[in-house]
Structure 1
């Protein structure tokens, strides 16, 4: 029997597949999804977590047997940090909004992290509990700086670097340098600025399009900048974004079944929101369009049932028949 080692798991961070979306492609315009669910802990945030922990060790901030990693997250970063930190021998505490899916919170707990939930009504203006989670994690970390380390994905350059040296070059190579348009949502800003900066250096004419959700949205991991502040990491390089397109909850959730029926992909709400933005954004002439599908739909059975996207039985049938589902490390 083959034994899976920690090195084997970590070697699977990155190099995710780029899959053509037949449902959107037409004539000489090709659409592709970068399937980040193929990272070992199931999302694009594996990249940021890996680079931030590695950076903390290299700078001597993290000490095995002593340091506790604490981080605010709406979900995927919590899973990635907990999974990867455990492999490297660190304890993890995660601060997460109540609004995050139950499946997400269960995965984080099962991976071994202590979980603190922040109430969505602490600050109704920003909604979704994200800013409250940041405040609580910062308070805990600052009270015991000798023990706690918060990577702070919202300002950590290692988050940007993971995409600048990883995801961006992958997309360039996988499209043979033909990419003309790139779409992604913005949470910390690491993904859009890291990939955007790299692609712009290779070809200044590549259009970087930011996808923004409605206020009081249900897109886990994203920010609406009218109700929530722009993260420091994003502010450093926000000029890399050429254009913005907005998407509301109904537009995002309405395409989940469409993408399954036409492309056999079971996608997450954020991936659905990117798809909806790609679908309605006007593109003329020959083009090679790439969107980040940050994770797949496996963590969202309860969310889809609550939003009447599909019943739990329908979800299980889709899960069984879906293509491009990766083997996860949890």
Structure 2
């Protein structure tokens, strides 16, 4: 169970970066792999798991598959953290399609190519397909949210919760929101995007908040669960990241820091005066060493949630 820590009187963060694999993605990865092994879709020692990932889901798959002696092949976009790509290989994954990616192919096209030619290469693939596999929602609804609910009760957080999160596939946002409601919490939500992006509208800009606004509308995000849409500037994210480290000693990743930046603003609004605000520390900040720079002056709009 990952810890829940308090950095402000009404701000609680669940440290999902302390899961095996280093992120919240381990939960979905393990749930998918365990289900596939039980169902016979994966035969340990024979089947190779294949996936396209920005890194975190890949680390989760490596950790989940190691228990069964399952090989892992990953297509990772060249725009993602080089540190992650190097360590994925170091920890045992095979990064596939490097030449194709250099020539302009997408990770999805790399996976499709390998699936189409698996017989010729003597492979038997199982495609975990995180963007189309609903098992990930179940993992967060029945595991992440259940843990969080118990921790919130222990912390005497009250029943009114504002969950501030982001979405890649949308599995964690949907699963945590539904799970907390299953446990009797009155949950309002805020979805965070990088400045200039709107995941619902399918509008995406270049950004380094890896794990959110990934270029496609989140397939598992139930939009009826989203009460507010917030945007965060790059400088705001860096500032929130540093502040969280000074308060907790925990160096969170970019998506977590972006959600914290939005949470800080939302907490100042009168309607949340008695509401507990909850975020997830999706992964650690050490993956993104190239972003360690001074926070620029003018960290963004006065209100990232457009109010």
Query: Does 1:297 pair with 2:285?
Result: yes
Aligned partners of 1:251, 1:157: CA distance in 2, in Å? 33
| 5+ residue gaps, structure 1 | 1-14, 124-131, 310-330
Task: State the 1:36 CA deviation.
Answer: 0.5
TM-score normalised by the chain length of structure 2: 0.82
Report the 3-state secondary structure (helix = DSSP H, G, I; strand = E; otherwise coil) of the residue aligned with 2:21.
coil
Question: Given the superposition, is the C-alpha separation of residues 59 and 294 from structure 1 closer, same or farther in structure 2, using an over 3 Å criterion?
Answer: same
Q: Does residue 221 of the first structure (1) align with residue 211 of the second (2)? A: yes
Once the 2 structures are TM-superposed, how far is the Cα of residue 258 of structure 1 from its aligned partner? 2.0
Counterpart CA distance in 2 for 1:172 and 1:135 is 40
**Bigger mean CA deviation after superposition, 145-154 or 206-215:** 145-154
Tell me how far apart the structure 2 counterparts of residues 197 and 109 of structure 1 sit (CA, whole Å): 35
Q: Aligned residue for 2:138? A: 161
Cα deviation per residue 1:175-215 (whole Å; 9 max; x = unaligned)? 11635111111011110011111123334731022111232
Q: How does 1:21-32 map to 2 (within 5 A)?
A: 21-22=7-8, 25=9, 30-32=10-12
Answer yes or no: is 1:18 the counterpart of 2:4: yes
- Equivalent residues, number: 275
| CA–CA separation in structure 1 for the residues paired with 2:135 and 2:79 | 27
Distance in 2 separating the partners of 1:262 and 1:231 = 32
- In structure 1, what is the Cα distance between the partners aligned to 2:113 and 2:220? 20
CA offset digits 1:116-146 (Å, max 9, x no partner): 35759948xxxxxxxx223322332244387
2:125 maps to: 148
Question: Normalized against structure 1, the TM-score is what?
Answer: 0.77
Distance 2:116 2:188 in 1: 40
Please give the alpha-carbon distance, in whole angstroms, between the structure 1 residues aligned to 2:258 and 2:38: 36
Partner of 2:275: 287
| Greater shift in the superposed pair: 44-53 or 212-221 | 212-221
In structure 1, which of residues 42, 45, 65 is the aligned counterpart of residue 22 of structure 2?
42
Q: Is the 8 A contact 2:146 2:183 kept in 1?
A: no
1:249-328 aligned at under 5 Å gives the runs 249-281=234-266, 282=269, 283-300=271-288, 302-305=289-292, 307-308=293-294
CA distance in 2, matches of 1:121, 1:254: 36
Q: 1:121 to 1:303 in 2, by over 3 A?
A: farther
Residue 232 of structure 1 corresponds to which residue in structure 2? Answer: 219
- For the 8 Å contact 1:221–1:270, the answer to whether it is kept is yes
Question: Is 1:171 aligned to 2:148, yes or no?
Answer: yes
| 1:127 equivalent in structure 2 | none
- 5 Å matches for 1:60-209? 60-116=40-96, 117=98, 119=101, 122=104, 132-144=106-118, 147-176=124-153, 178-203=159-184, 205-209=186-190
| Distance in 2, Cα, partners of 1:119 & 1:222 | 21
Asked if 2 retains the 8 angstrom alpha-carbon contact of 1:172 and 1:178, the reply is: no
